[in-house]
């Protein structure tokens, strides 16, 4: 019996821009019906990976397969992929419906199929109320949803979204999350890059953490998070002023380490020593001369995994 290929298979993908590596031999498999969140610092290679999967770029070496085909070389393979770039790729003077009709035409849909597809994506992205309005007159959140709607016209089974909620307000973010949850429920494969851990925890089945063009951690989100349930809470100490040497020693003794680039934020990723609650910890630190203004207590989550994955690299460097 022939086993169908996975929705996405990336094998040893490497790509450099003018001699500077953006991806350095990345392997990744994504099965149909999965939502994968791509996380990583700026410049990690998330957008490059998404553009490779969308067929907009070809790797220098290694393989990119979507449903067993080559998205760069084969237009038919691209027809099964919806790509939502970071920037709004719509005609600003045309209405949302007109834009969608243009994109449906470009996707090769017949006139009647176009009408149906446009209605369907307007409904799925909750855009009916603004369908007749020129894109330029819409809020950023609506523009982003229209951008997503345009990628769904050909009913793709892989949808790639590059930071779809960047810079939008909370309501627009919730509306975009609802669209993505709907895609997942409908059985589509979704790959979404984000810097937002809460968003990734809410939407994803799997997570992939990239840095410097390499995959640092990939796996089932629930399985990765399970050991954290028993982990101690994390503490963040916010300083009123940069702590002096004695206060720094007291913070380190209590399990805190400074946040890179912010001398007023100290973090105890695996719980502060002493097992005190936030108020008692604040009082204890102040008693030892630490100019702490506030202690934030948080359950460990995806951000902890992320810090651990990237922190291990720093420690090894």
Ligand X SMILES: Nc1ncnc2c1ncn2[C@@H]1O[C@H](COP(=O)(O)OP(=O)(O)OP(=O)(O)O)[C@@H](O)[C@H]1O
Where do contacts with ligand X occur on this chain (CB under 6 A)? 17, 22, 40, 42-48
Residue 45 or 156: the one with the smaller Cβ distance to ligand X is 45
Q: In what order do the strands lie in the sheet with 234-239?
A: 257-259, 262-268, 234-239, 292-298
What DSSP assignment string belongs to 165-195? TTT--HHHHHHHHHHHHHHHHTT-EEEEE-S
Pick between residue 39 and residue 250 the one whose CB is nearest to ligand X. Answer: 39
Q: How far apart are CA 161 and CA 167, in angstroms?
A: 14
Q: How far is the CB of 199 from ligand X (least distance, A)?
A: 14
Alpha-carbon span 19 to 158, nearest angstrom: 30
Q: For ligand X, which is the closer residue by CB, 45 or 258?
A: 45
Given a contact cutoff of 8 angstroms between Cβ atoms, the answer to whether 169 and 144 are in contact is no
Residue linked to tokens 């008692």:
280
- For the bound state, the minimum distance from the C-beta of residue 26 to ligand X, rounded and expressed in Å, comes to 11
Which CB, 46 or 65, lies closer to ligand X? 46
CB 241, min distance to ligand X, A: 32
Give the nearer residue to ligand X in terms of CB position, either 89 or 155: 89
Closer to ligand X by Cβ: residue 53 or 122: 53
Cα–Cα distance for residue pair 39/221, rounded to 1 Å: 12
Q: Which two structure tokens, joined as six digits, stand for 50?
A: 């998404």
C-beta of 48: minimal distance to ligand X in Å?
3
CB-side exposure of 292: number of CA atoms within 13 Å?
Answer: 28
Q: Where are the alpha helices (DSSP H) in the chain?
A: 46-53, 75-78, 96-106, 111-124, 140-151, 170-185, 197-203, 221-225, 245-253, 278-287, 302-316
Q: Which is nearer to ligand X, 47 or 143 (CB)?
A: 47
Least separation in angstroms between CB 164 and ligand X = 12
Least distance (Å) from ligand X to the CB of residue 194? 9
Taking the complex as a whole, how short is the minimal distance between the CB of residue 225 and ligand X, in angstroms? 23
């Amino acid at each position: 019996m022939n086993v169908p290929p996975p929705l996405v298979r990336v094998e040893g993908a490497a790509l450099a821009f003018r001699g500077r590596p953006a991806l350095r031999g990345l392997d990744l498999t994504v099965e149909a019906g999965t939502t994968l969140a791509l996380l990583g610092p700026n410049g990690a290679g998330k957008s490059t990976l998404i553009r490779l999967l969308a067929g907009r770029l070809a790797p220098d070496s290694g393989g990119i397969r979507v449903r067993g085909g080559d998205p760069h070389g084969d237009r038919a393979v691209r027809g099964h992929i919806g790509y939502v770039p970071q920037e709004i790729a719509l005609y600003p003077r045309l209405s949302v419906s007109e834009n969608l009709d243009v994109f449906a035409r470009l996707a090769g849909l017949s006139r009647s199929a176009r009408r149906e597809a446009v209605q369907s994506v307007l409904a799925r992205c909750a855009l009916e109320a603004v369908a007749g309005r020129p894109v330029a007159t819409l809020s950023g959140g609506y523009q982003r949803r229209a951008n997503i709607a345009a990628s769904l016209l050909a009913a793709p089974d892989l949808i790639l979204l590059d930071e779809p909620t960047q810079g939008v307000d909370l309501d627009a973010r919730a509306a975009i999350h609802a669209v993505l949850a709907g895609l997942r429920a409908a059985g589509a494969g979704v790959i979404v890059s984000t810097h937002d851990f809460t968003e990734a925890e809410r939407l994803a089945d799997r997570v992939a953490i990239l840095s410097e063009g390499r995959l640092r951690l990939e796996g089932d989100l629930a399985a990765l998070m399970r050991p954290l349930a028993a982990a101690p809470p994390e503490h963040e100490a916010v300083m009123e002023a940069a702590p002096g040497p004695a206060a720094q020693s007291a913070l380190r003794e209590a399990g805190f380490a400074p946040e890179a680039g912010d001398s007023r934020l100290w973090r105890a990723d695996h719980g502060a020593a002493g097992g005190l609650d936030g108020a008692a910890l604040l009082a204890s630190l102040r008693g030892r001369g630490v100019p702490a203004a506030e202690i934030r207590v948080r359950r460990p989550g995806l951000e902890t995994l992320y810090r651990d994955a990237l922190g291990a690299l720093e420690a090894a460097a």
